[in-house]
Amino acid sequence: MDRLIELLPKFWVATGETLYIVGIAMLFGGIAGLLLGLGLYVTRKGSVLDNRWVFGTLNFIVNVFRPIPFIIFIAAVQPLARIVVGTGIGNTALAFGLALAATFAISRIVEQNLLTVQPGVIEAARSVGAGPVRIIFTILLPEALGPLILGYTFIFVAVTDMSAVAGLIGGGGLGNFAIQYGYRLFNPEVTWAAVILIIVLIQLVQLVGNKLARVVLRR
Amino acid sequence: MALIEISDVTKVYPPRSKGETPAAALDGVSLEIEQGEVFGIIGYSGAGKSTLVRLINALEKPTSGSVTVNGVEVSALRESKLREVRLGIGMVFQQFNLFTSRTVWGNIEYPLTVAGVPKEQHQARISELLHFVGLVDQAHARTDQLSGGQKQRVGIARALATSPAILLADEATSALDPETTREVLALLKRVNEEFGVTIVVITHEMEVIRSIAHRVAVMENGRVVESGDVFDVFSAPRAEATKRFVSTIVTSVPDADALGALRARHPGRIVTFSFADGNTSQSAVFLTLGDAKVGFELVYGGINEVQARTFGHLTLALTGDDAAIDAALESIRAVATVTEVH
C-alpha cells in the first residue's frame, strides 16, 4: 500500500496519458472511421452511390489491416508515424497508431449500423427528390444514430484495451503503469489500482454512451 | 396525350449468380394513364407491378422502352435531373417508410426542405396537410407512437407536401386491417376528387380496385393481361387471371364446386343470365320464360355494385319443353348475356 501512495503522482500522470492517447485516437479514428464506413456503405451494390471498384478497394484495405494484432500493428506503423506526427515513439506515436487501427474497426461498425436502416426509408427520401449527399446526412446518419453511438462506445472500450501495449514503443498510460510498476515489480495492489481506475473509466463511458443512445432512440 | 405513357417497357434484372438466367420483371408493358383518374394495377406478388410503378418516378429504369410523364421522358433522365420530376410525383408505401428519426411534423416537412420551399411557408403548408389527414393532435408525436392507419396518413401527407400532380400508392393498404383500409382508401379518394391528383394504385386486393379505381390493368408474369374500365372488367372479365381476381369479391357466379352441387340437385338445364346496369332486363327474362311456359327456379346469384353502377348474375334451373327453352333463351339474348352451364 505504501508503494502505491509513493507512486500516486505517477499514477495520475498515467491517467492523464491514457485520457490523452484514447481521446486523440477516438477523435481522429472516429472521424476517419465514419468517413471510411460511409464510403463502404454508399458504394455497396444497390446503394446510393453504387460503385464496385471503389467499394472493392475500400473493402480490401479494411480487410487487410483490420486483422493485424495491435501489438504488431503499432510497431509496423512506426515509420508512418514518423512521417505524420514526427515521432515513432511515445504517447503521440501510440495515439497515431491507435487512431489508425480504430479507423478500420470503426468503419466496419459504421457500415454495419448503416445497413440496418430500412432500404424503404432511403427509397422514400429518393421519391421526394433528395439526392445521395442529402440522404446520407439528413436520413441515413440520423436514422442510424442510436446504434452508431453504441458502436462508438464499444470501440472506445477496445481502444482503451489496446492502449495498454504502450510500453512497447515507449508510451505511457494506465495499462503501461500497471505492467511496469505493478506486474514487473511484484506490487499487485498497484496493478489492481490501475485496473480499477480503467474499469471505472470504461463504466463511465459506457454509461454516457447508453444514456445518449437512449435519448436518441427515445427508449 | 396521356399524363403518363408507358410504352413497350421491359425490365430485366441481372442474374444473382453466374449460370442463372436473367429475371424479366416486366415483359413488353404499355399503359396510358390519364390526367385526373385513379388507375389501379392489380396482380399477385411477383407480377411486376411494384417495378412498373417505380418506373413512373424513375426509382427504377427500364431495360428497354420508354416512360413519359407530362411530356418528359423520365426513363431517359440522369439521376441528377430527376429531382424536379420527383417533386411532382408523391409516393406512399406498404410499410409506410416514415423517417423514425423525425416527428410527424418533421416527416411532412422533409419534402418541403428538399424542394427548397422557404422555411416561413412550411408551418402553413404542414398545418393544412395535418388537417386534411386528420392528425393535428399528433403533429409532434414520434412515428413509433402511431397506429398503422395513422402512419399511412402521415405517409400520404408527406407524399402530398409539395402538391404533386401524381400520387403513386404501392400496396398502401396491404399492411392495414379492413376498417383502416376503408379509411385510407376514402382519404385517397378525397385526394383525387378534391385536389385532382392522378393516382396510380398498386394492389393485390380487388376490393381496393372496386372502391377507388376508375380504370384497371391486370398484371401477370410481367405482362398486362387485361385492362379497361373497372365496371367492364368486373362485370365481364376476359383473362383467366382477371376472372380469378374478380371471383374474390364477385361471388354471384357459381364456381366448379357449387356447380357440381347444383347439377346433383337439378337434373334439368342450368343457365346463368348476366346483367349489366339494367334492372329492367331482369323482369324481361322472367316474363319471357313465363310466356314460353318454361318453369324456372333461382338456384344461385347476386347483384353487385361497382362505381355506383350495378351488374348481376342469376343462375336458374329450367324445366319444360327443350324447344320452348331454346326459343325463350334465344329471345332473352337480346336483353342479357346467357351462359348455359353444362
Domains of chain B with bracketed CATH: 4-247 (3.40.50.300), 256-341 (3.30.70.260)
Q: Residue B127: pLDDT band by 50, 70, 90 thresholds?
A: very high
Q: Which of B90, B99, B161 sits opposite A139 (nearest CB)?
A: B99
Give the HSE-up count for residue B157: Cα atoms under 13 Å, Cβ half-sphere.
Answer: 29
Nearest chain A residue (CA) to B160? A128
Q: Give the pLDDT score at B112.
A: 97
Q: At residue B24, does pLDDT exceed 90? A: no
Q: Do B111 and A120 touch (CB under 8 A)?
A: no
Q: Which of A127, A142, A145 sits opposite B57 (nearest CB)?
A: A127
User: For B64-119, what is each residue's pLDDT tens digit?
Assistant: 999 999 999 999 998 888 998 999 999 999 999 999 999 999 999 999 999 999 99
CA A159 from centre of chain:
5
- Amino acid letter, A200: V
Q: Which of B87, B95, B100 sits opposite A129 (nearest CB)?
A: B87
Residue A45 touches partner B, C-beta closer than 8 Å: no
How far the first Cα of chain B sits from its last, in Å, is 47
Q: Give the pLDDT score at A84.
A: 93
Grid coordinates given for A161: 484495451
Q: Residue B280: pLDDT band by 50, 70, 90 thresholds?
A: low
Grid coordinates given for A79: 515509420
Q: At residue B333, does pLDDT exceed 90? A: no
Are B4 and B33 in contact, with CB atoms under 8 Å apart? yes
Q: Residue B206: pLDDT band by 50, 70, 90 thresholds?
A: very high
Mean pLDDT, chain B, as a whole number?
91
Q: Which residues of A touch B91 (CB under 8 A)?
A: 124, 127-128
- Amino acid letter, A39: G
User: For B215-264, what is each residue's pLDDT tens digit?
Assistant: 999 999 999 999 999 999 988 889 999 988 998 888 888 888 888 888 88
Q: Give the pLDDT score at A198.
A: 92
- Nearest-neighbour CA in chain B from A170: distance (Å): 45
Are A55 and A43 in contact, with CB atoms under 8 Å apart? yes
More confident residue, B18 or A93: A93
Q: Which residues of A touch B114 (CB under 8 A)?
A: 128-130, 134
B interface test, pick of A126, A128, A143, A216 with most B CB neighbours within 10 Å = A128
- Nearest-neighbour CA in chain A from B14: distance (Å): 12
Q: Give the pLDDT score at B279.
A: 58
Per DSSP bridges, beta strands B166-170 and B198-203 are parallel
Q: Give the pLDDT score at B275.
A: 85
Q: At residue B21, does pLDDT exceed 80? A: no
Calculate what percentage of chain B has a pLDDT beyond 90: 61
Q: Do B87 and A143 touch (CB under 8 A)?
A: no
Nearest chain B residue (CA) to A134? B114
Q: How far apart are CA A118 and CA B260, in angstroms?
A: 50
Count A/B contacts: CB-CB distance under 8 Å: 69
Q: Give the pLDDT score at A218.
A: 73
Alpha helices in B14-81 (DSSP H): 49-56
Q: Which residues of A touch B100 (CB under 8 A)?
A: 121, 143
User: For B174-194, what is each residue's pLDDT tens digit?
Assistant: 999 999 999 999 999 999 999
The residues in A 96-135 lying below 8 A from B, measured between CB atoms, are 118, 120-121, 123-131, 134
Nearest chain A residue (CA) to B81? A129
Are A101 and A180 in contact, with CB atoms under 8 Å apart? no
- Nearest-neighbour CA in chain A from B338: distance (Å): 49
Q: Residue B340: pLDDT band by 50, 70, 90 thresholds?
A: confident
Mean pLDDT of B117-139: 95
| Least confident stretch, A80-89, A190-199, B307-316, B333-342 | B333-342
- Nearest-neighbour CA in chain B from A89: distance (Å): 44
Q: How far apart are CA A172 and CA A94, in angstroms?
A: 9
**pLDDT tens for chain A, residues 1 to 219:** 677 788 888 889 999 999 999 999 999 999 999 999 999 999 998 888 889 999 999 999 999 999 999 999 999 999 999 999 999 899 999 999 999 999 999 999 999 999 999 999 999 999 999 999 999 999 999 999 999 999 999 999 999 989 988 888 888 888 888 888 888 989 899 899 999 999 999 999 999 999 999 988 875
Q: Do B102 and A142 touch (CB under 8 A)?
A: yes
Q: Do A121 and B99 touch (CB under 8 A)?
A: yes
Q: Give the pLDDT score at B342.
A: 64
A2-217 folds as MetI-like fold (1.10.3720)
Q: Which of B95, B101, B110 sits opposite A128 (nearest CB)?
A: B110
A interface test, pick of B60, B101, B103 with most A CB neighbours within 10 Å = B101
Would you kindly state where each structural domain of chain A is located, as residue ranges?
2-217
Q: Do A138 and B110 touch (CB under 8 A)?
A: yes
Q: How far apart are CA B61 and CA B76, in angstroms?
A: 8
Q: How far apart are CA A123 and CA A130, in angstroms?
A: 10
Phi, psi of B310 (to 5 degrees): -110, 150
Q: Give the pLDDT score at B118.
A: 96
Nearest chain B residue (CA) to A49? B79
- Nearest-neighbour CA in chain A from B261: distance (Å): 48
- Nearest-neighbour CA in chain B from A52: distance (Å): 15
| Least confident stretch, A77-86, B116-125, B273-282 | B273-282
